[in-house]
Amino acid sequence: MSKPVVLITGASQGIGAAIAKVFAREVRGVRLALVARNGRNLAAVARACAKPGGATGLAAGATAEIFPGDVSDEAAVAAMAAAVTKRFGAVDVLINNAGVFAGAPFAETKVAEFDRIVAANLRSAFLVTRAFVPGMLRRGRGDIFFMSSIAGLAAYPNGAAYCAAKFGVTGLAKVLRAETKGTGLRVCCVHPGATWSPSWAGSGVPPERIMPAADVARAFLDVYRLSRRTVVEEIVLRPAQGDV
């Protein structure tokens, strides 16, 4: 697609920033709508995506704009969707990457913390997708990615809120795929294992046990580049040395 509009939530760091950079580097003329709460970090990612040449090897004509906001808030999502549409028009690729992680034993998980994690990971994906799916259906074309996790496939101790949220993301993707089959939309749910992000700093886990964010980002690009005759419904990525 010529000059696609790619919207990425949670684009200020980690996998989201890596996805933005790989699309900027390899998709000629891509227009990036970068969304996250941290406007300062978001602006730095946008500058890296828009900087021509240099170490990034940027594809010609890439454009990156930032849209700071909380995608778990309904009013904020509506305002963001209006701003993105005004700036770029229709969104071709939606990447629901926003999320947070925190762990605690089930009995020690506070209600407010449970709600926060579910909102950041699951409610955000629902709100943002709901804002852009109608336009994709009208055009009969679109790519929607959901960032789940291996925690959305198998439960583990001390992950009540996070696993519940990611299982929800996995289910949300399955429902949307079932409802939009044959409409020209492709829905892919991505399940990464441990992937490097600032949250791993100081964890004591050796870097070689964690996947680089650039590898996970590459998977999104490669799935997007497949012909329209093919849909990757789910993809699981794990560290070569096993789960952390």
Q: Quick one: tokens of 193?
A: 């294992």
CA distance linking residue 201 with residue 99, whole number of Å: 17
Residue the block writes with tokens 């926003």? 98
Closest alpha carbon to 185 in 221, 139, 219, 146 = 139
CA distance linking residue 125 with residue 97, whole number of Å: 8
CA distance linking residue 207 with residue 210, whole number of Å: 5
- Is the separation of the CB atoms in 71 and 38 below 8 Å? no
Instruction: Give CA torsion, residues 49, 81, 147, 158, to 10 deg.
Output: 110
208 burial level (CB within 10 Å; 0-12, 13-18, 19+): exposed
- Is the separation of the CB atoms in 8 and 95 below 8 Å? yes
Q: Quick one: tokens of 203?
A: 């964890």
Active site members: 162
